């Protein structure tokens, strides 16, 4: 029994369209990434915008007294491949977008000796993630939505 020409054409189209439809569109998110060195040596807060971070840490009983930004960049984090963040201690942290739901993004943060952790990032506020030791202190990855221009 032969299939009518119109049906066979539709069947062929279906075969070719299925793989393309099955491939999900990659989601991307711009994330401001800061690497901050915190320690108990001195009382430096550089730049002054880190005062808010210092106050947050004090409220949570993390007794660091010095906060120094070592780097700041805006990265595009995707859902297919991890985005690497070079750390001053020679290691790399990686970020990957897991999902976006409303105004909240869930990111997977992989750190050298600490394994991985899923964090939720909203349009406001910041997420702090310890990413290792460095010159007598701790490196903190600060993730936030980039400021509106």
Q: What is the pLDDT of residues 135-147, one digit of tens each?
A: 989 999 999 988 7
3-state helix, strand, coil in the chain (%, to 5): 20, 50, 30
Task: Report how far apart, in Å, the C-alpha atoms of 38 and of each of 49, 64, 97, 112, 146 are.
Answer: 14, 6, 26, 18, 22
Instruction: Please tell me the predicted confidence (pLDDT) of residue 149.
Output: 61
- For the chain, residues with pLDDT lower than 50 are 1-23
Cα-atom radius of gyration of the chain, to the nearest Å? 22
Q: What is the pTM of this model?
A: 0.79
What's the rounded Cα separation, in Å, for the pair 45 and 56?
13
């Amino acid at each position: 029994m032969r299939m009518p020409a119109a049906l066979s054409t539709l069947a062929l189209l279906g075969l070719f369209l299925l793989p393309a439809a099955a491939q999900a569109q990659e989601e991307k998110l711009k994330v401001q990434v800061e690497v901050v060195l915190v320690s108990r040596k001195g009382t430096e807060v550089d730049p002054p915008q880190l005062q808010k971070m210092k106050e947050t840490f004090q409220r949570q009983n993390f007794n660091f007294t010095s906060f120094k930004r070592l780097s700041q960049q805006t990265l595009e984090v995707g859902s297919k491949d991890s985005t690497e963040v070079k750390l001053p201690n020679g290691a790399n942290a990686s970020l990957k977008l897991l999902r976006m739901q409303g105004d909240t993004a869930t990111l997977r943060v992989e750190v050298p000796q600490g394994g991985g952790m899923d964090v939720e990032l909203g349009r406001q506020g910041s997420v702090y993630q310890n990413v290792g030791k460095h010159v007598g202190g701790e490196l903190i990855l600060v993730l936030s939505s980039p400021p509106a221009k």
